[in-house]
Structure 1
Amino acid sequence: KALKKLYTLASTDVPVKERQMAEGENNLRPHLIHLNRCRNVMLKDFSIRQSPFWTIHIYMCDGGLARGLDVKATGHNNDGIDLEMTRNFLVEKCTFEQGDDAVVIKSGRNRDAWRLNTPTENIVVRNCIVKKGHVLLGIGSEISGGIRNVYMHDCRVDGEVMRLFYVKTNHRRGAFVENIYMENVEAGHAGRIMEIDPEVLYQWRSLVPTYVERLTRIRGLHMRNIKAKSAKAVYELKGDSRLNPAFVEIENVTVDSVSDFIGRITNVDSVFVNNITVLKQPSKK
Structure 2
Amino acid sequence: MTISRSFALLLLLIPVLLFAQTADNKTPHAPGMGRGLLLKSINVTAPFKMPALTVPDFSNCVQIRITDLGAMPGDKEKNALAISTAIDRANKAGGGTVIIPAGEWLTKKIQLKSNVNLHLEKGAVLLFSGDPADYLPAVHSSWEGMECYNYAPLIYAWQCRNIAITGEGTLRATMNIWQQWFSRPPAHLESIKRLYNLTWEGRPVNERRMVNDTAHLRPQFIQFNRSENVLLEGVSIINSPFWTIHPYRCSNVVIRNIRVYAHGHNNDGIDPEMTQNMLIENCVFDQGDDAIAIKSGRNPEGWRSKMPSKNIVIRHCTVKNGHQLVAIGSELSGGIENIFVDSCTVLDGAKLNHLLFIKTNERMGGYVKNIYMRHVKAGHIDLGILGIETDVLYQWRSLVPTYEKRLTPISNVFLSDVSATEVKFISRILAQPSLPVKNISLTRVTAGNVPKQNNIHEYVSGFRMQ
Q: Alignment partner for residue 430 of structure 2, among 225, 238, 249?
A: 238
Contact 1:123 1:149 (C-alpha < 8 Å) held by counterparts: yes
Task: Find out whether 1:149 has 2:341 as its counterpart.
Answer: no
1:181 is aligned to: 372
Measure the CA separation in 1 of the matches of 2:391 and 2:271: 21
Structure 2 counterpart of 1:195, from 384, 387, 390 = 387
Q: Quote the residue 1:128 is aligned against.
A: 317
Question: 2:216 aligns to what SS in structure 1?
Answer: coil
Q: Secondary structure at the match of 1:52?
A: coil
Q: Deviations over 1:176-195 (max 9, x none)?
A: 10000000000011211101
- TM-aligned CA deviation for residue 30 of structure 1: 0.9
Greater percentage in strand: 1
2:332 aligned counterpart, secondary structure: coil
Moved over 6 A (4+): none
How far the C-alpha of 1:31 sits from its partner, in A, is 0.7
Aligned counterpart, 1:83:
272
State whether structure 2 residue 396 is matched by structure 1 residue 207. Answer: no
Match status 1:72 vs 2:228: no
* CA displacement 1:18-74 (0-9 Å, x = unmatched): 011112322111111111011011000001111111110010001110000100101
Quote the Cα distance in structure 2 between the aligned partners of 1:234 and 1:112.
34
* Larger RCO (CA within 8 A; separation ≥ 6): 1
Identity of aligned residues (%): 45
Aligned to 1:9: 198
1:165 to 346, 353, 356: 356
Q: Distance in 1 between matches of 2:426 and 2:446?
A: 9
Secondary structure of the 1:260 match is: coil
Q: Is the CA contact (8 Å cut-off) linking 1:160 and 1:188 kept in structure 2?
A: no
C-alpha separation between the residues in 2 aligned to 1:121 and 1:45? 24
1:261 aligns with 2:453: yes
Alignment partner, residue 92 of structure 1 = 281
The residue aligned with 2:72 is none
Distance of 2:290 and 2:314 partners within structure 1:
14
- In 1, the alpha carbon distance for the partners of 2:448 and 2:341 equals 22
Residue 96 of structure 1 deviates from its aligned partner by 0.3
Contact 2:380 2:422 (C-alpha < 8 Å) held by counterparts: yes
The CA deviation at 1:229 is 1.0
**How far has the Cα of 1:242 moved from its partner?**
1.2
Distance 1:183 1:252 in 2: 10
Q: Secondary structure at the match of 1:259?
A: coil
**What SS does the aligned partner of 1:9 have?**
helix
1:75 alignment partner AA = G
Q: Any unmatched runs of 5+ in structure 2?
A: 1-189
Higher mean C-alpha deviation, range 233-242 or range 134-143: 233-242
Mapped contact 2:426–2:446 kept (Cα < 8 A): no
Q: Which amino acid aligns with 1:116?
A: S
Name the structure 2 match of 1:117. 306
Q: Which residue of 2 aligns with 1:280?
A: none
The one-letter code of the counterpart of 2:214 is: E
Whole-angstrom CA distance in 2 between matches of 1:261 and 1:16: 48
Larger radius of gyration: 2
Q: How many Å separate the matches in 2 of 1:212 and 1:15?
A: 20
SS in 1 for 2:352: strand
Establish whether residue 32 from structure 1 lines up as the match of residue 221 from structure 2.
yes
Q: Secondary structure of the equivalent of 1:115?
A: helix
Segment drifting more, 248-257 vs 66-75: 248-257
1:248 equivalent in structure 2: 440
Counterpart CA distance in 1 for 2:452 and 2:351 is 16
Q: CA deviation at 1:253?
A: 1.6
Which is worse superposed, 106-115 or 24-33? Answer: 24-33
CA distance in 2, matches of 1:31, 1:260: 40
TM-score (norm 2): 0.58
TM-score, reference length from structure 1? 0.94
Higher helix proportion (structure 1 or 2): 2
Report SS of the residue matched to 2:423. Answer: strand
In structure 1, the residue matched to 2:233 is 44
Rounded to whole Å, the distance in 2 between the matches of 1:37 and 1:270 is 38
Report the Cα offset of residue 260 of structure 1: 3.4
User: Deviations along 1:155-208, whole A, 9 cap, x unmatched?
Assistant: 000023101111100010101100000000000112111011001100000011
Aligned match of 2:250: 61
- CA drift of 1:109 comes to 0.4
List per-residue Cα deviations over 1:123-152 (Å, max 9, x = no partner). 000000000000001010000000110000
Which deviates more from structure 2 when the two are superposed, residues 3-12 or residues 89-98? 3-12
In structure 1, list runs of 5 or more residues that go unmatched: 275-285
Given residue 414 of structure 2, which amino acid in structure 1 is its aligned partner? H
